[in-house]
A and B are shown apart, each in its own frame.
Chain A
Amino acid sequence: MSILSFRDVSLRYPQRPGLRSAAGDNLVLDSINLQVSSHELVAIIGRSGSGKTSLLNLAAGFILPTSGTIAVDGEPIRGPGADRAVVFQDDALYPWLDARDNVGFPLKLKGVPRAERHERARQLLELVGLGEAGDRHIWELSGGMRQRVGIARALAAEPRFLLLDEPLGALDALTRSRMQEFLLRIQSRSGAGAVLITHSIDEALILASRVLVLSPNPGRLTAEIEAGFSSEILAGTPIERIKASPLFKRLHDGLTSLIHSLPNEEAAA
């Protein structure tokens, strides 16, 4: 089992000359403490601009914290690595590769021979329900299919953690709810831990074992909710039934009023 941990992590983007924020301070994330273990899915919700993407980029190693440490199993991270594979909102698939080669991309980086790569990509595409799509061009796939290819690509790296930045944000309502259940099953089968950024309270409650609320300006983790509906869904309870349950409604209402009570970054800006 692995643990991804944030200890007193703060982030300040370099001040751009002539662009001074009203507060005179551009602290984006303040004293973030967070532990995610493999096998669990943690959701982070917050308004746009609260620093969700920044937090994920820190975990991915794309940017380094101004202070504090981010570590995997106690080992501070120094940059991006295949142990923390990212799934992007805009899929970030390579259009010059077909679906199979996109999924096989992490294996190619490792020097896995072509035949083996193809076989593994085929298995992963099958896992995400796209067994027939290996030869397809990326631009021939629908948004939902692309996200599944993106997830399969991340899984091909055999990461210890999946970092998901609003991976379903661009999908329409129907596709989105199908993908939620799918994402849950894939994550639990893969044995990887996951950090899911979302601005949908529904989605966070359905998928995550824990939901964290990021309040804006500067971003602080202000609340944590143990959701735990995901195990019911994995056991076969339909998502619609869970959403109709009184407990779900109570948590949903609680989170909604909590988020609405937070200062609005857009209004302040």
Chain B
Amino acid sequence: MTLFTELRPLSRLSDGDEDGRAGDEAPLRARAAPATASTARPVPTAVISAITVLVILGLWSLASAHALVSPVFLPSPRQVLVAAYGLVVTGFVDATLAEHVGASLYRIFGALIASILIGIPAGLAIATSRVGRGILDPIVEFLRPLPPLAYLPLVIIWVGIGEASKITVIALAMLPSIILSTSAGVRSVSKDHVNAARSLGATPRQVLGQVVLPSAVPSILTGIRIALGAGWTTLVAAELVAATSGIGFMIQSAAQFLVTDIVIAGIVVIALIAIVFEYVARLIERRLVPWASHR
């Protein structure tokens, strides 16, 4: 052991940290590894999750097949599939599924663009200027904990029942996380990174554009991903209350006529879209800022 300790610094040909503990523990772990491998391979989490989904679908099928619950309240999975097919082909309340989804997506991306255009400069202002923080902090702190549906009626009074009110409400729901993630990202910029740029001849403007903003991008993207999630829940809720198209409106109309299979199909579509958002957002993060995980 003494010999090992003495030889360690020389045997490290590649660069490493100066922390010696990892070197001491590594052999222990290496010896322990085969033992665990030979006992039992653990069931992958994904398999457990898949089984859970299948069990729920199975219970659902059983319940509706034996008419434990009235089909009005709980249509069978098959009925829901048929309803979903009908939605795609002929639609419901004057619009196909694609048109409802399209209306919802239009709103959410309109709101996303608006909140990015406002949120990133606002976040920058909070992080870089005392005055900016003084002005914007109370507004963000007021807005952040408010459930968007609380101010939906007011927004409708102000901008009417049309698209603008929905986009405004969703944008307001998205804004705090974009503002806060931008300012957090800007504030987390490494002091050495800034100083390096200054000593290499950067002007304050160049420091902002070439160093501060790029290092805030991972945080901003995370903020956008969270905003998208928050915006989607708000959107569907807003459409339930006040809309003439959109996936939320479709569910609300179906519920009024007790067309439960459409309601369930709609809920599944909402969930699927949210999952796709999350997936695509993570994909974009990995593409755009592969370095974020290597900081």
Name A residues whose Cβ lies closer than 8 Å to a Cβ of B.
60-62, 79-82, 84-86, 88, 90, 92, 94-96, 105-106, 108-110, 137-139, 142-144, 153-154, 156-157, 163, 170-175
Distance in angstroms from A240 CB to nearest chain B CB is: 14
Q: In the complex the two chains form, is A109's CB within 8 Å of B10's CB?
A: no
Are A62 and B16 in contact (CB-based, < 8 A)? no
Residue of A90, A110, A156, A172 with most chain B CB atoms under a 10 A cut-off: A172
* B200 and A157 within 8 A (CB): yes
A174 contact from B10, B18, B195, B295, Cβ within 8 A = B10
Q: Nearest 5 A-B pairs (CB), nearest first?
A: A143-B15, A82-B201, A139-B294, A95-B291, A80-B198
Known: A92-B192, A96-B217, A139-B294. A62 touches B15 (CB 8 A): no
A218 to chain B, nearest CB (A): 24
Is residue B214 within 8 Å, beta carbon to beta carbon, of the partner chain? yes
Partner of A82, one of B16, B18, B199, B217: B199
| Complex Cα spacing A94 to B214, Å | 9
Q: Is the CB of B214 within 8 A of A60?
A: no
Q: Are A62 and B195 in contact (CB under 8 A)?
A: yes
Q: Residue-by-residue, is B74-117 near A (CB-CB < 8 Å gives 1, otherwise 0)?
A: 00000000000000000000000000000000000000000000
Quick check: is B289 within 8 A (CB to CB) of the other chain? yes
Given A81-B201, A96-B217, residue A86 in contact with residue B196 (CB < 8 A): yes
Contact A172/B12 with A94-B211, A139-B291 known, Cβ cut-off 8 Å: yes
User: Which of B197, B203, B206 has the largest count of A CB atoms less than 10 A from its CB?
Assistant: B197
In the complex, what's the smallest C-beta–C-beta distance from A210 to chain B, in angstroms?
23
Contact with A along B210-230 (1 / 0, CB 8 A): 110011010000000000000
For the complex, what is the distance from the CA of A231 to the CA of B197, rounded to whole Å?
A: 32
Contacts of A157 in B (CB 8 A): 199-201
| C-alpha spacing A156/B197, complex, angstroms | 12
Please give the distance in Å from B120's CB to the nearest CB on chain A. 17
Q: Given contacts A96-B289, A105-B210, could you give 19 more A-B pairs where the C-beta distance is less than 8 Å? A: A80-B195, A82-B201, A85-B200, A90-B192, A105-B200, A109-B201, A109-B203, A109-B210, A137-B294, A139-B294, A142-B15, A143-B15, A154-B200, A163-B199, A171-B15, A173-B9, A174-B12, A174-B13, A175-B15
Is the C-beta of B52 less than 8 angstroms from some C-beta in chain A? no
A142/B14 contact (C-beta < 8 A), A92-B190, A94-B193, A108-B210 known: yes
Cα of A153 to Cα of B9 in the assembled complex, Å: 29
Contact of A86 among B12, B17, B195, B214 (CB under 8 A): B195
- B residues 263-295 near A (Cβ < 8 Å) are 289-291, 294-295
A residues in contact with B12, CB < 8 Å: 172, 174
Question: Do A86 and B15 touch (CB < 8 A)?
Answer: no
| B202 interface residue (CB < 8 Å to A) | yes
Footprint of A on B, CB under 8 Å?
9-10, 12-18, 190, 192-193, 195-203, 206, 210-211, 214-215, 217, 289-291, 294-295
Residues of A with C-beta under 8 A to B201: 81-82, 106, 109-110, 157
Residue of A nearest to B193 (CB): A92
User: Which residues from chain B contact A171 at a C-beta distance below 8 Å?
Assistant: 15
**A60 in contact with B192 given A108-B210, A173-B9, A174-B13 (CB within 8 Å):** no
B262 to chain A, nearest CB (A): 47
Cα of A62 to Cα of B222 in the assembled complex, Å: 32
Tell me which of B202, B290, B294 contacts A109 (CB under 8 A): B202
- Determine whether the beta carbon of B295 is less than 8 Å from that of A61: no
Give the shortest distance, in Å, between A138 (CB) and chain B (any CB): 7
- CB pair B294–A172 under 8 Å, yes or no, is no
For residue A88, which residues in chain B have a CB less than 8 angstroms away from its CB? 192, 195-196
Inside 8 A of B294's CB, which chain A residues have their CB? 95, 137-139
Verify B192–A172 contact, CB threshold 8 A: no
What separation, in Å, do the CA atoms of A171 and B195 have in the docked complex?
Answer: 22
With A92-B193, A96-B217, A142-B15 as given contacts, are A84 and B291 in contact (CB-CB < 8 Å)? no
In this complex, what residue of B is CB-closest to A174? B13
